[in-house]
Chain A
Amino acid sequence: MSASTQPGTGPDSGMQPGGTQPGGGTGPGQERGSGSGAQPDLLYTDIEEDLRSTVRDVLADRCPPASLSARVEAAAEGAADGGPADGRSAEPSARASARPYDPALWRVLGADLGLAGLLVPEKLGGQGASAREAAVVLEELGAGVAPTPFLGSAVLATSALLACDTADAGVAALLGSLASGAATGALAVPLAAAPGSAFPGAVRADAAGRLTGTVTSVADALAADVLVVPAVGPDGPGLYEVAAGDAAVTPFVSLDLTRPLADVAFDGAAARPLPSADAAAALDAALLAGAGLLASEQLGLAQWCLDETVRYLGERHQFGRVVGGFQAIKHRLADLWLEVVSLRAAARSAADALATGTDAAIAVRVAQAYASGVAVHAAEEAVQLHGGIGMTWEHPLHLYLKRAKADQIAVGTAGRHRAALAPLLDLPAA
């Protein structure tokens, strides 16, 4: 079977790939964007694979997909009632109603294993790892639709702080407490906020540093002790630290049951400014990291949906045959497999670009423009190919579809990322 990838391949030809390609020196095309001369490292290191096994073991042990349904059910009913989601009405704080978050699971992952501080340099109390390792963690968390605040705290809030002045004692202290897992953070922006957006003006800071305004649809705010809040003060855009208890964190019924959202309101809330040379750039860096790493969560989710569907269809019989043996089904799964392995390359490219600081603007948007479609397709195919059981509440598949659909909107839609690519690639709209 010929498998040449290049256009210049004739029937029975086996034309040397690259022969009619720019790489072979005869085709058109030039490199676009910065840093595209060197190829990103798209493989996993042994250390990354070890990290993956560790996270996978913890999740298999403490948070198997089948156990999630009961947890999210309680949370969903609690939120619909407008009261605390865990049924313990005596608990006053937003933190207490933070189900389906599993504080014990997050303690093990975030604090004991040090994942909360993965992106934080060792001198600031973290692990000194990079986006490459965080991406592997997110693959596993996506595969388990795990209800942890890793994205909100260890990626979004942490990345925003890392882009501030880390020589400042307040910034360093907050980073240290997030890295150790002593506190959990959230970045107070709508989950839909895309990198490259205008600095949000919904929250204002007065001269005394008190914040007023409302941010909608904030991810992981329910689990947060500390909020990193973009607000516009008398001197322009800034980032502020606010204790979650000083804000009104109101959950609503979220499409994604395993990453519930909340509206966050500030009414003259006490806040501490977080020094940075350019708050807008710091926020943008956080959103770019979030978008790039979310692709790995979507990869893990899509891979789980594919694996689980292949496993199920390899066992189930209809019409006297294994259902997975019907060609119409096989071809759909083969196409899905191709999408997933393609996403793996794109997600690795984004993670590597974020880790090296090379080509991130393009690599992240390429990955995110591609990832959400694949994750949603994988989850939708999984539901369809599971037949009736795929439509039930009992089977955890619905949690994957809901996460995939919400992730499609999170940190910029595919269309937003494509539009953002246009000027970077010199492909203007008009």
Chain B
Amino acid sequence: MTSNATPEGVRARVRELLAAHDPAALEPLDFLRARFDAGLAWVHFPEGLGGLGAPRALQAVVDAELAAAGAPDNDPRRIGIGLGMAAPTILRYGTEEQKHRFLRPLWTGEEVWCQLFSEPGAGSDLAGLRTRAVREDGGGDGGGDWIVDGQKVWTSSAHNARWAILIARTDPDVPKHQGITYFVCDMTDPGVEVRPLRQITGEAEFNEVFLTGVRIPDAHRLGAVGEGWRVAQTTLMNERVAIGGSALPREGGMIAPVAAAWRERPGLRTPELHDRLLTLWVEAEVARLGAERVRQQLAVGAPGPEGSGLKLAFARLNQQISGLEVELLGEEGLRYGDWTMVRPQTVDFYGRDAGYRYLRAKGNSIEGGTSEVLRNIVAERVLGLPAEPRIDKDVAWKDLPR
């Protein structure tokens, strides 16, 4: 165990893996399975579950060694929800059986995950959700399967997903945060209907999901009945931690295409645009350094509150930078590549034009918690200022005005 916790130790493990499994000779999926079984998928996970129980920071060492050896990677663009949100929640709250069933195909990308959290009436106020899960045979410990009815929305990857993490109301007679339970939902169940939602960009990147009499076995419940809100906090907090994984290069991200256009197209340059470009370049670099500082804090096991602010910073910057890019391009900015409704596997900010980036970035201050909600969180949890006055705290969910 001790040797696993050092860079030399994990490098030795990588060498063993490569000696036994030649990435050039194997199908990528076979190599990824071998990598998982060698504990090199996510080194901070326990042994037997794709990890070594090693410090999270050593993952970068593993990734670099394997990339240098030309080994295939799992595709984070396709399996991000599983990696970033489902996996840490399953690890923390799942039974041994659940961990062994779900984690390996999740990590290799064989099984895509989506997240059935938000509802038409429960976005920022997520705990107000009304999708019901009722236990067959009258509930209680002796009951059977859960029957789920309701509607979810803004679900990325639902059209590709094999599994979903789902929160549903199991007790309407208690305050809203207490009556929620967390499940794993089989997206191939006949009661699951996925419909594309066309967006401001023209494409249908996410979906609405209708759940009608969906049968979920109790063995697919994560955590205790009524504890779903607490389990969901793990899901949501882990997404933030995932930021620690990637160190961006300077001028990575949204500023890159604008800077490239400036360099390649002298005819677009004006003094006013120059100062705005440099101002945003500086702010993007400062935001990058802020994210890097959070990453370094996590790597030494001392997470600070700064992570709470990163999404706020990037949402604002992405919108300003993409807006500047459209202006900079002038007449070309008046053109839009394609309004055809397509259903992309993922959001590709850089595969499309500036107009797409501008429109899609508008979502950055809404998705995954609006900037307004995030400011409240920073003010209350980081700065210690009083919480918003609430009328819903001690009222049974069924009695809330709606």
Interface residues of A, Cβ cutoff 8 Å to B: 1-24, 26-33, 36-37, 39-43, 310, 313-314, 321-322, 324-325, 327, 329-331, 333-335, 337-338, 341-346, 348-349, 366, 369-370, 415, 418-419, 421-422, 425-430
Contact = CB atoms under 8 A, between A and B. Distances in A.
Interface stretch (B97-105, B186-194, B306-314): B306-314
Contacts of A22: 248-249, 252-253, 256
Interface stretch (B31-39, B218-226, B382-390): B382-390
A314 B76 CA distance: 43
A12 B368 contact: yes
B257 interface: yes
B292 A345 contact: yes
Given A7-B364, A14-B85, 9 more contacts: A7-B314, A12-B156, A15-B80, A17-B242, A19-B346, A22-B253, A33-B250, A338-B309, A370-B283
B243 A5 contact: yes
Contacts of A8: 77, 346-349
Interface in B265-322: 266, 269, 271, 274-275, 277-279, 281-283, 285-287, 289-293, 296-297, 300, 306-314, 318
A421 B278 contact: yes
Interface in B82-129: 83-85, 114-118
Contacts of B257: 28
Contacts of A321: 386
Nearest to A7: B349
B277 to A, nearest CB: 6
A330 B296 contact: no
A335 B282 contact: no
B252 A23 contact: yes
B38 to A, nearest CB: 21
Contacts of B245: 16-18
Interface stretch (B142-150, B168-176, B370-378, B393-401): B370-378
Contacts of A3: 239-240, 243, 307-308, 310-311, 368-369, 374
Nearest to A20: B349
Contacts of A27: 252-253, 256, 349-350
Contacts of B236: 1-2
Contact of B369 (A1, A333, A337): A1
11 contacts: A1-B236, A1-B240, A2-B369, A7-B314, A11-B155, A12-B114, A12-B368, A32-B251, A370-B283, A429-B269, A429-B274
B259 interface: yes
Contact of B296 (A12, A17, A42): A42
Contact of B253 (A7, A366, A369, A419): A7
Contact of A366 (B282, B309, B310): B282
Nearest to B308: A3
A2 B76 contact: no
B372 A331 contact: yes
A238 B378 CA distance: 52
Given A342-B290, A430-B266, A11 B154 contact: yes
B293 A344 contact: yes
B262 A427 contact: yes
Interface in B228-266: 235-236, 239-240, 242-243, 245-257, 259-260, 262-263, 266
B154 A15 contact: no
A1 B373 CA distance: 9
Contacts of A337: 309, 378, 382-383
A18 B314 CA distance: 13
A19 B80 contact: yes
A19 B275 contact: no
Closest 3 CB pairs of A and B: A2-B368, A18-B246, A325-B386
B341 to A, nearest CB: 16
B214 interface: no
Contact of B275 (A23, A338, A415, A428): A415
B205 interface: yes
A10 B309 contact: no
A35 B285 CA distance: 15
Contacts of A419: 278
Contact of A15 (B84, B297, B383): B84
Contacts of A330: 375-376, 379-380, 383, 385
Contacts of B200: none
A48 to B, nearest CB: 14
B360 interface: yes
B81 interface: yes
A369 B156 contact: no
B9 interface: no
A346 B293 CA distance: 10
Contacts of A342: 286-287, 289-290, 309, 313
A9 B292 CA distance: 19
